[in-house]
Amino acid sequence: MVLWTPRILGLLVVAFFVAFALDTFQGDAPVVTAGLMHLLPAAIVGLAVAGGWRHPGVGAAAFAALAIGYAAVAVDHLDWIAVISGPLALTAVLFGVSAARRAALRPVDPSRRRADRG
């Protein structure tokens, strides 16, 4: 459950951003350019999901950075922060839990220990 939840939530956040971008596509060249600009946040979040897919710690750091970055930019709009940064922060926490569980379940190989630790 903890393994797939952050990945699914991350994909849902991407779909949420894509839904906002679809409003701008009408057919004109300037509108298409604006639509592609509105798809940029979805692409960035998609890259964060891709990075966190195999390495949940990377996903946790990326989603936390995105949540904090958006909150810093939209500081005057608390409702926007709740709607955008809230799911990003929740996904960061879930990726962090996934990374912690993965590390706890991984067996320790004695041959991979560094010499200075003994």
Paired tokens of 71: 């909150």
CA 9 from centre of chain? 9
**pLDDT of the chain, 118 residues: tens digit per residue:** 778 999 999 999 999 999 988 877 766 667 777 778 889 999 999 999 999 999 999 999 999 999 999 999 999 999 999 999 999 999 999 999 999 998 888 776 666 666 555 4
Angle at 9 between CA 93 and CA 76, to 5 degrees: 70
Rounded Cα gap, residues 94 and 14, in angstroms = 16
Paired tokens of 17: 């951003």
Tell me what pLDDT residue 28 has.
63
Amino acid 82 reads A
Amino acid 15 reads A
Q: Where in the chain are the domains?
A: 5-105
Tell me what pLDDT residue 37 has.
86
Rounded Cα gap, residues 94 and 17, in angstroms = 20
Helix spans in the chain (H): 5-21, 29-54, 56-73, 78-105
Paired tokens of 29: 């060249």
